[in-house]
Copies of this chain bind each other. A is one copy, B any other.
């Protein structure tokens, strides 16, 4: 299945999610781990779509999610910075999810400057993350 860039943008406008997780992690500097991830969740009957999206981006994994759902997920910062972010800069989302994407990109840029390795930096990232995904329930 060959996907078109605009198709992917439309599908992600509907089904995608840009998320920044922040969790306690004793091993990390500042005591927390900041985990940005891009996901697309789908009923297992359409798992082939997730594999096609993975093939398009050339990164990420397809795994079982809750129940009969599958998820395409990208967590590696290098891949997020080099593949996912440039794609959505070139092919902008049309929905309000675009605002989430922009905050997601802001967090990744701060992480490139190691901002997440200080307590003040984590707070700054937390304030951005709290403003994300505040619309429709997912």
**A residues apposed to B, CB below 8 Å:** 1, 3-15, 42-43, 45-46, 49, 52, 68, 94-96, 135-136
Contacts and interface: CB of A to CB of B under 8 A. Distances in A.
Contact of A9 (B10, B43, B52): B10
A64 B135 CA distance: 17
A66 to B, nearest CB: 12
A96 B7 contact: no
Q: Chain A's interface: helix, strand, loop or mixed, by majority?
A: helix
A8, A11, A15: most-surrounded residue (chain B CB, <10 A): A11
A96 B46 contact: yes
A45 B7 contact: no
A68 B137 CA distance: 11
12 contacts: A3-B94, A6-B7, A13-B14, A13-B49, A15-B15, A42-B95, A43-B135, A45-B135, A46-B96, A49-B95, A52-B94, A68-B136
